[in-house]
Amino acid sequence: MDYTLLLIQVLNGLQLGVLLFLVASGLTLVFGILDFVNLAHGSIYMLGAFVCASLTYALDSYLLAVILALPIIGIIGYLFEVFLARPLYSRDHLDHVLGTFGAILVIDTIAHLIWGPAGIAIPLPNYLDGQIKISENIELPTFRVLIIIVGLLAAFGLLWLVNFTRLGMLIRAGASNRTMVSALGIDIRTLFAIVFAIGATLAGMAGMLIAPITEASLGMGNNVIITAFVVIIVGGIGSVKGALVAALLIGLIDTLGRAFLDDFFKIFMSAAAAENSAPAISSMSIYLIMALILSFKPNGLFPPKLR
């Protein structure tokens, strides 16, 4: 076994994991606290990528574009809550799914009209476009290292916000017992809108971080949303800590599966059979893990107490 390759792949898995966390954290907050199923969360992620791409070309600076795009996405998230999500809260989950699925179609088509079908590649400044030498034979693209650092900072920032601030206390209280929180005189509407905007900003940020790697493209959010749902279900709906642990777990399993499964299969089957079965098995690996975890912990790894 080549340990440097293993280490590189673990770092790659970590990078995928933190991106998944940024998307999943907003989803789990909205699902856990507002009891609202938001399929269109992935569309916000896509909008983040496109808005950032346009701003990068307009301002000629990726960093400035990200700084400016974050509040824009936050505002879009806030407006989404006020005009689309709020009227649906009192209805059941099926209506949430229908309403937000409609929103996906509308947002995708608007994006198609504004930015065209081609997708936009985001150029990175030179100091982010190179590689970092971590040791003698470990070299990683600078930008991927940046994603890991920014993603982990955002993750711990969010954990701090939820666990150690007054706003976080209200959020956790809202997750446990919504009626009681509003009975105690908290403006639950504003609280919900803030939670929604935070979630949207984080998803948008994930889109901005992935776009220089895969480019901003239509439907990119629909790919990530399924995996994000897997993450929040494995982590326990409503738990930010659970989302972090599950996102890193899923990111690592997916990456390591793609990297090493065919070599592993070759130990006990023919090379041709291993080459054919490994891609199929690795693309379903995260669902196998989900099934496994749910059979032991039906509410996920860290379900919030007292629902």
Q: What are the residues binding other proteins (CB under 8 A)?
A: 2, 4-5, 8-9, 12-13, 15-16, 112, 116-124, 129-131, 139, 141, 143-144, 210, 212-215, 217-220, 222-223, 226, 255-256, 258-259, 275, 279-280, 283
Nearer to other proteins, 85 or 104 (CB): 104
Nearer to other proteins, 121 or 159 (CB): 121
Nearer to other proteins, 5 or 114 (CB): 5
Nearer to other proteins, 272 or 306 (CB): 272
Q: What is the number of alpha carbons within 13 Å of residue 241 lying toward its C-beta?
A: 10
- Longest Cα–Cα distance of the chain, Å, equals 67
Backbone angles phi, psi at 201, to 5 degrees: -60, -45
Element (DSSP H or E) covering residue 139 = strand 138-141
Nearer to other proteins, 13 or 300 (CB): 13
Question: At closest approach, how far in Å is the CB of 158 from other proteins?
Answer: 23
Question: At closest approach, how far in Å is the CB of 22 from other proteins?
Answer: 14
- 24 close to 233: Cβ distance less than 8 angstroms: no
Question: At closest approach, how far in Å is the CB of 106 from other proteins?
Answer: 14
- How far apart (Å, rounded) are the C-alpha atoms in residues 58 and 69? 12
Question: At closest approach, how far in Å is the CB of 248 from other proteins?
Answer: 15
Question: At closest approach, how far in Å is the CB of 36 from other proteins?
Answer: 24
Nearer to other proteins, 4 or 165 (CB): 4
- How far apart (Å, rounded) are the C-alpha atoms in residues 206 and 49? 8
- 70 close to 61: Cβ distance less than 8 angstroms: no
Q: Which residues of 185-209 are buried (b: 16+ CB within 10 A; e: fewer)?
A: eeebeebbbbbbbbbbbbbbbbbbb
288 Cβ contact partners less than 8 Å away, ≥ 6 residues apart: none
Question: At closest approach, how far in Å is the CB of 225 from other proteins?
Answer: 10
Question: At closest approach, how far in Å is the CB of 145 from other proteins?
Answer: 11
Task: Tokens for 60, please give them.
Answer: 């000629």
| DSSP-derived 3-state class of residue 131 | strand
Nearer to other proteins, 71 or 279 (CB): 279
